[in-house]
Amino acid sequence: MKTPTIFIIKLKEYFFTILITIFTICLVLFSTANIQAAKKGIELFFTGVFPSLFPFFIASDLLSHTNLIPLMSEKLNKYMKPIFNVPGLAAFPFIMGIISGYPTGAKIVTDFRNQNMLSKEEGERLLAFTNNSGPMFILGTVGTCMFLDKSIGLLLLITHILGTISVGLIFRFWKSSKLKRSSQETTSYLTFNNIGEVIGNSIKNSLNTVFMIGGFIILFSVIISILLQSNILSILPNDWLKGIIIGLVELTNGVSFVSSIISKNITINIVISAFLIGFGGISVLLQVFSITAKSDLSIKSYIYGKLLHGTLSAIYTYLLICIFPIFNFSLN
């Protein structure tokens, strides 16, 4: 009876060693396809992700050196506190997370926590609903490029925002704030005297974060290639499950696969895509984890929040398609 227990303990001890060894072997076995996947990942990063995220990272960092955040804290506390149980300054990562995309919200929340502008519990609440997919990705990449229909992109954007607001309302009950925020300002304001230094630091910090994200994109592009080349996904009974698995691993590849599945009832494609966009995928999860690891914030609230976000977004998408004829894309 002890043998299975010993085996499990050994498996846990050597799990990552075995996993990385298999990954290295697959890099060699499928080298041609992996090189092409890496090139596509690099192209995606430099043509899509870098130009869209890098300016937002700089802008959010520079804004943190102005009086905007204290102003938002003062003016919006009466709304953010009763609705989401977070201070008014939380409106900043909430808004930036919606308009700029993954993982901007998580970065801002982590920065706020490291500056002691948020309690640990408040930061974890915010992680659950402020890190979202951006409108450029949903409307442009998913709607226009993948589904070839702007209306589908608009539907997915509406339900994505509804989903994140719903998660925020639910997570207002996440723990109780036991730690007090610092009333002391830890960030110097931007002036004509320090503008060069502040901008230089913002660029340096933004480059570090965005290139880390690029590394994840390239890595997971190769992982998806290995899954496809090794025919591991062929054991799945249908394309829907393949698309879900790919999307759970990496968002963009998954939604692209799901949108390409030929079906008379395209509602299925759209609802699954809504879930994947809401969840974000393991690639985004690890990006967020690499950011929050620099603080005392737990990643648990983020995982629970994104699973709930994906589920609610899928439900809202299905309901809107059923209720409003304008969103009935069925080919029947």
Q: What is the pLDDT of residues 112-156, one digit of tens each?
A: 999 899 999 999 999 999 999 989 889 988 998 899 999 999 999
Q: CA geometry: angle at 128 spanning 181 and 179, to 5°?
A: 20
Q: What number is the average pLDDT over the span 290-308? A: 95
Q: At what angle do helices 104-114 and 281-292 cross, to 10 degrees?
A: 20
User: What dihedral do alpha carbons 113, 118, 120, 125 form, nearest 10°?
Assistant: -110
- The mean pLDDT of the chain is 88
Token pair, residue 263, equals 């079906």
**Structure confidence at residue 6 (pLDDT):** 66
Higher pLDDT residue, 181 or 36?
36
Q: Which of 306, 288, 9 is nearest to 163 (CA)?
A: 306
pTM of the model: 0.86
What is the end-to-end Cα distance of the chain in Å, rounded? 57
Please return the burial class of 25, using the count of CB atoms within 10 Å of its CB with bins 0-12, 13-18 and 19+. Answer: exposed
pLDDT tens digits, 239-259: 999 999 999 999 988 999 999
pLDDT score, position 28: 94
Token pair recorded at residue 113 = 């926590």
Give pLDDT tens digits for 51-78. Answer: 878 888 898 888 888 888 888 888 899 9
Q: What is the CA radius of gyration of the chain?
A: 21
pLDDT at 4 over 80: no
CA distances from 206 to 29, 156, 213 (A): 36, 29, 11
Q: What are the distances in angstroms from CA 14 to CA 2, 7, 11, 53, 88?
A: 19, 11, 5, 37, 46
Q: Is 159 helix (H, G, I), strand (E, B) or coil?
A: helix
* pLDDT for the residue 66: 86
Per-residue pLDDT, 7: 58
* pLDDT for the residue numbered 289: 94
